Structure 1
């Protein structure tokens, strides 16, 4: 597949794949201890129903006990960390180190205490993009590997770059923050004029070795969070640190996180960074209800005739009756699966050809336009709601637009991966 070379990234990446005396791990722990501002992101394998449970990272050797039940949450396999220390937290003074931590290779016991201490250290600002979900999955991953009480339940002080984005966009107008959430790619494009390609977002992050593209993609998500925070600081400085007309957080308690810090900045060495933390930051708290997986399948109440008596009520069940279709006793292969792939195709004798795959919009199930768009037409059509990665500009691609929701599609890496996966699962030939 032809692809134009990606421009060099403005940062070096430390891939951490060892424990104990590993120099990369030592540098990571040293950077965490000296950091003033730390940005986090995480990756996990996209989860599909029927996927077998993956072993918890950090566990070694065969276990004599029966295989555990599949984990409630996806297992985090990669943790991205961008650290900045020194100075007053600004990029002109601090040294930035970017790490991609392979949680399948690094013993989690070596990371748990430093991470937990950092998450709760009040003189370090933590950045993230919708990081609460990442924290839930990360906590579950550590708890599955090390024990029930080895998760993470709080991060403070914390600043979400989504709130920074809305502040920079609407700080001069008094209005409520919009409910919709911009993607990180959109935020980077609008604030930094940086294009983040998301073609690798849904790749299998549990496969090793990681490709260079995966490493750079993962690292960039954490690195550019620091750049967004730098822009936020520059804006506040330009305003003379005056009180903004739009607050980042609607919760009045969020501005009281660092009430224990002295005005001289003894806990946060920079008065300026301390003022940002005190005024704009919040904290993430994971309660027991948050860490429990909610059952999305609600039993629907069967409606009975209004004139039916209690003794006439019939116990109606919508559950499958009898052995599951994959039970070996009735000819199955013994492996649980969704009833929406090979079995449906075989039972209903469906005829599916490759040209019918991906022929509908995945967002709204709408149909596509009859004639594909050129690159210039696609760029014009995407303005305001979708970013076309710059790496596609030198390729001879056709773009297809949904007639209902206007979402644009092209035959990139994600498209070909999805088609090949469907072909292999359903044994479809041309």
Structure 2
């Protein structure tokens, strides 16, 4: 399973700080990206190229992007923000045990007979409301990504964290008419690229002080409500209207069987064709990103952009070395000892799987052209064509799935199976690489 590494800094609600080197699985990022895509917040080509063209081919160890991430300033900022959301979700999920992410709209979010998060002042507000499956409570989350931060390891807090924390002050929350304060996590990433070859840094920054926990019955109720809201938010990607329709389709076994064998990911045989030259298949939702060639890349434009940014106009964009450590004295512990983390095992790469995987899923096909729900046997035939294209030409194709036994009543925890073919979490979203995994047996799909 592919991993990349970064310096990881965690500051919890007690002020205890932990810092060390930690891996992040590219499958964690892909699963987060798939969830963002289903919720309508991502450009499909951006995360499908994550494994093939955007990661550095020079540095295969660190979380480093190729070249300078993109040619133009505008596109660099877009990718920084987009990938910042992906990596933030991955860290919040797998390092802290958060799940069931629901995006806040402009004015917040209201879950029926549960929590309401309302805007209370102007300005940006947090990205997500999520559920802490370990502590059984609500959490507000904010994602930040930066190409040029200089205080990620020295700031207390770094400027991007301070701006993120300010966003929590622009909302207020209530549960059953009573004031409620969710935990508040900011997840931030300092990107490294082939031209900005500093050490990549990821940060998770503290929730507020604990308040009275929910009773077991209350926690089960709120978990069911936020799970159904999460299912509502991804339902369209699976070709249905809401959580009820997802659960009904699962009960009726409108699924596809997926099989996966442990082993390495195959090399890409040939460069994939330009997605704009591929025929548009019926049923696909097009979400095509800006093509790099749409932006001039002359040296003159490069110098103009750098001058507007107030930066060095020379071609080398390496940032200066970080300043000496001037953090104020605070309790410092080993990263593996941080109570905020799910456990020390997340700081080591997961061993390769020894046994194959087999399961039935409600599925959606993801290619460069968009998302296609697999709702009929005809859709399944399209899936098989996409799989053959992926294996023959290296054209990326992913399969996103919800397990047949998906249930709002059951908890989910950890990772059930993960290898080069994909990642499967209990009672949660799964993602498979169709170059490796086999989608073989449709369930009761209509013609």
Considering Cα pairs closer than 8 Å and 6+ residues apart, tell me whether 1 or 2 has the greater RCO: 2
TM-score normalized with structure 2 length: 0.24
Task: From the two aligned structures, give the one with the greater helix fraction.
Answer: 1
Higher CA-based Rg: 1
Task: From the two aligned structures, give the one with the greater strand fraction.
Answer: 2
TM-score normalized with structure 1 length: 0.25
